[in-house]
Chain A
């Protein structure tokens, strides 16, 4: 029984620590970018996620064009029609469990929507929005 409890505790720690570690490393970077930086902000993240830009394909899109506005539900890729599973870790336990995966998608999707990579502050803000939405 004791082993089971320890295993469960380790598993739950393992889950949250990936995203916690990622956010704290982004925070270190953010401070380097801007010494007066304090905390990542849900509202700024929401603005980043929902605001529309002329993306890589020349169309006016936002992150929500593919992920939808209800992050607890699946949505369709705006260009290909392929179903994208829910982005929120509350609805989809696989989300935000792999650092390389998080970094890959942030890089790609910032490039797709903003035509550039995100700054550490922007990445932290948008992740804060997604995991708390």
Chain B
């Protein structure tokens, strides 16, 4: 009986966690390796194809870094990003909101998108620029389960601040 209760509770906990997934987590090992070596491997559903394509055409100057890859890797990354971009993943809450809030813009980066700025406007600038975070680009500094596609407010813990409270 005790085992059954524990099992039920665990299932509920897992289910609750599952429910909070608001964007498709990265499911491509080459993408994880190539892009995730230097920064959080951002879920493809965070940008529309037009933005990903623009970014891929300038990898030798990728936010000031040389992120160039060979032709084969380029094709793999491009097709993965195109197949999983925001407008192809509208069943996920965040992708849907991102697409709805683009307002005709082709953002060059995730952190400069109108939706992303709006979602973070209540957070004090110094908490975002502090050395433990560095900038909005560093999702995992505060979103504890970002790698699992969880971006809900109650999963946020800001360094030198704590759990996020409005």
By a beta-carbon cutoff of 8 Å, the part of chain A in contact with chain B is 56-58, 77, 79-82, 84, 100, 104, 107-109, 111-112
- Other than A80-B38, A82-B38, A107-B68, give 9 A-B pairs with Cβ distance below 8 A: A56-B64, A56-B66, A80-B39, A80-B40, A82-B36, A82-B39, A82-B40, A104-B68, A111-B60
Bound form: Cα–Cα A22–B40 in Å: 30
Bound form: Cα–Cα A124–B104 in Å: 49
Bound form: Cα–Cα A84–B115 in Å: 30
**Shortest distance from the beta carbon of B11 to any chain A beta carbon, whole Å:** 33
Once the chains bind, are B141 and A108 in contact (CB under 8 Å)? no
Bound form: Cα–Cα A77–B36 in Å: 12
Q: Which residue of B lies closest to A117 (CB)?
A: B66
Q: Which of B51-81 contact A (CB under 8 A)?
A: 60-61, 64-70
Within the complex, which residue of B38, B64, B141 is in contact with A77, where a contact is CB–CB below 8 Å? B38
Once the chains bind, are A57 and B68 in contact (CB under 8 Å)? no
By a beta-carbon cutoff of 8 Å, the part of chain B in contact with chain A is 36-40, 60-61, 64-70, 132-134, 137-138, 141
Once the chains bind, are A56 and B70 in contact (CB under 8 Å)? no
Once the chains bind, are B70 and A112 in contact (CB under 8 Å)? no
Once the chains bind, are B69 and A104 in contact (CB under 8 Å)? yes
